Amino acid sequence: MSGAASTAPVGVTGRLTDLSAAQLARLLERGASPDPEVERATAAAIADVRARGDAALFDLARRYDAAVPQRLEVPREACRHALAELAPALRAALEEAAANVRAFHAAQLPDELEVEVRPGVRLGRRPEPLARVGVYAPGGRASYPSSVLMGVVPARVAGVGEVVVCSPPGPDGLPPAAVLAACALAGADRVFAVGGAGAVAAMALGTQSVPRVDKVVGPGNAYVTEAKRQLNGVVAIDCPAGPSEVLVVADATADPELVALELLAQAEHDPRAAAVLVSVGAEPARAVADALARLLPSQARREVSEASLRAAGALLVADDLEAALAFAARYAPEHLLLMLAEPRAALPRVRNAGTVFLGASSSVAFGDYVTGANHTLPTGGLARAYSGLSTLDFVRLVTYQEVSPAAAVELAPVAATLAAAEGLPGHAAAARGRAGAVGSAPTGDAADGRGRGADADYSASPRLRAAYRVIEPY
């Protein structure tokens, strides 16, 4: 790349095959090491909330939000009023987005199932909604009513008993009116003017005002993400969601201006957001660099976008589509946009991404707001192991097991043999006792497997043995 590419403040440029180890690390290890100051400040906030509860939350609001809320809990009437006073166009947009989120997440509801794995052994699984969930709606640089919808609506679809929302207060002591309106529209039960790490701590630990929840979901800044990390285990959390990121794979059919707009849309989120292009061949990358240089000066959030592109942006060139997709799998982006001649043909080869957008008309912005897919997605390469927020985050899958008396007779020696091998005679006795209750329990060495030869039949019956496939060792 040459020419205009040098005028675009992009952190890493060049062919994939020519990247240095340091450049690869810069791209692939984003977010791998928490900032020590963020860790320290977050730990201090959590400890303060644990020790002082509401009093700590008021102090944190004054310190970090420059706000003095009169009370932590927002009255329901304030949410209803915000919805009633919302601009008609914005209300209509939120209603359409909520309807789409509801439809897609309702389709994800897991079914109850029951299977008879062998005669007399019935196993089942049923979804059970969580009792209380906390949704974090970020604030700070902007107002995010869409994040309210993405957390509250799926929780409602799943049947969660109580949905609590925390969002940072503004100068008037309340979250932004659009956030409050979204809470009313989505059906939040309680709303609190609490932000940052303190909000996560309050929901995880409980305070005099904020109830303790079973799970905390929703995106946030570095302090919110770190608080979720530190409190994971005290409370369940969703996927790790840090600064926003997009990776665009584009070939010669892609409109370079549309690609540039997608990169800028992510870059304007945050100075730490990541916007990456992997170009199939060099020409698309050159054209996108020109478009970035042309469009960047007119961006309303130019300073944020420039900082983002400089810190975590990249314009990369792959020799072919396979190499581009292989790099995308290593990068594991939050958003993967395939601006290709045949994006659906490439979809089966996509391995790691929070969500995938197919084709030039499928802007990431649509997914951020209105398609109905969830925009709370794993970042920092964690799409290799995590999925985005979904209905499944708001239910537990409870299994149940029923063994008939006749099946117990056949299973008892198998269970006793395994228990004896693990040195747990009480387990063996419990299994044998069930068989004994039916009147045919083996006793002595035969019951726990002692004294058998190497070629002994350890199964209860040929029928039981046939029900299981052989598992090969690693």
Which listed residue (226, 334, 375, 410) is catalytic? 334
Q: Which residues, listed in sequence order, are joined to residue 14 by a DSSP beta bridge? A: 316
What's the residue count for the chain? 474
Rounded to the nearest 10 degrees, how much is the dihedral formed by the CA atoms of 149, 41, 54, 153? 10
82 to each of 100, 135, 170, 207, 255, how far by Cα in Å? 22, 19, 15, 26, 40
Residue 334: active-site member: yes
CA–CA distance, 321 with 327 (Å, rounded to integer): 10
- Residues 337 and 251: beta-carbon distance below 8 Å: no
Residue 245: active-site member: no
CA–CA distance, 430 with 238 (Å, rounded to integer): 38
* CA angle (248, 249, 250) in 5-degree steps: 105
Query: Judging by beta carbons within 10 Å of its beta carbon (0-12, 13-18, 19+), is residue 279 exposed, middle or buried?
Result: buried
CA–CA distance, 459 with 418 (Å, rounded to integer): 11
Helix H or strand E segment including 256: helix 256-267
CA–CA distance, 474 with 467 (Å, rounded to integer): 22
Residue with tokens 């996927």: 239
- Cβ atoms within 10 Å, residue 288: 29
Which listed residue (335, 375, 402, 427) is catalytic? 335
Residue with tokens 């002591």: 173
Residue with tokens 């309702």: 106
Q: Which residues are catalytic?
A: 334-335
